[in-house]
Amino acid sequence: MTIRRSTPKADIKTMSDIARLAGVSESTVSRALADSPLVNAKTKDRVRRIAHSHNYVVNEQARNFRLKRTGTIAVVIPIDAKQQQPISDPFFMELLGAIADALNARGFDLLLSRVNAGDRHWPDAALDSSRADGTIIIGQSSQHETLNSMADTGAPMVVWGGRLPDQRYSTVGCDNETGALEATKHLIAQGRKRIAFMGHRGWPEVELRYKGYQRALETAGHEIDPDLVFDSRFTSEDAHRVIAHLDLKTLAFDGLVAASDVLAMAVINALQARGIHVPKDVAITGFDDIALATWYNPPLTTVRQHILQGGRLLVDLMMSKIAGEAIAPLMMTPELVVRASSGAHQAD
């Protein structure tokens, strides 16, 4: 008969002591106590019972030092010189808030930076493991190929953005094409005949929204007039500039699908300043469903991206990446929220 000596409680000082008692490696003990999905439930339970019975408490600072962890996730917003979208944009602020809450719930800090997408060194700084354990990038901007190259390094990275056919990086985002398709179909159902589109098609998410707009018009047998596709960055100033330069007598339109709520609200303001009533003369839809959309005048019909859920999913995928798991892109289903700006006889 084999006699196995148990280690006295006083001798349990390190993870190696627990590993010896549990019959597993020290790295397995570390993962089990951190609730890693890489360890099965039975092993986690055995390790935790041993740790609890010997009053063992993880020294997080020592653990992070040993694992070379910072306890921080970098959140990077790449902005190109032409984009001009401020970090104070309501969509950014709401998504950042959701990410911060989700990281805090997991015991991580957030390191935020806005980078110049034209600087060829920005990917190196974004993936610097001495600053953060992983990187969440908000928006693809004009950086699709750069993001592919960053993913090839194997560094933990997740991107908020549209799903593209040749992407090698993991994304969280909504089905942009379907969202804009539903918004355009809604305006068609309201009897609108000449429907414009506003947004900068050089960015992947906007191009996908344009495709949804285009598909809805083609399906309904409506003509796609290139003169009704207005190029505008995600700023109120740019939207005002576009509307100010339009000859609204010769270029009449009775509906407009905006690629963001900020653009939609700016168009409403600019049109009303020129004596054009929304929604009587022009019905308008936005995209995002930021908090202000409900309280705007008129309240904005828009496509809800489920921003809070998106922030949580970005963090969930980030944790999976850090654990070394292969993850597929996640696409959320958008929701058309009908309010007064589109002229429908519905309310919130």
pLDDT, residue 65, reads 46
Mean pLDDT in consecutive groups of 10 residues from the start of the chain, 348 residues = 43 75 81 73 88 74 58 90 71 95 94 88 87 93 90 93 91 97 98 96 93 98 94 89 86 94 96 94 97 96 96 95 87 97 71
pTM over 0.85: no
Q: Phi and psi of 157, rounded to 5°?
A: -150, 135
Q: How far is CA 73 from CA 138, 150, 181, in A?
A: 13, 16, 35
pLDDT, residue 345, reads 61
**Domains present along the chain, CATH in parentheses:** 9-66 (1.10.260.40), 72-173+307-332 (3.40.50.2300), 176-305+336-342 (3.40.50.2300)
Structure tokens at 89: 């944009």
Where helices occur in the chain by DSSP H, the ranges are: 15-22, 26-33, 41-53, 60-66, 90-105, 122-126, 144-152, 176-189, 204-220, 236-244, 261-273, 307-322
DSSP track, 246-280:
--TTTS--SEEEESSHHHHHHHHHHHHHTT--TTT
pLDDT, residue 235, reads 85
pLDDT, residue 60, reads 57
pLDDT, residue 2, reads 41
pLDDT, residue 347, reads 43
pLDDT, residue 19, reads 85
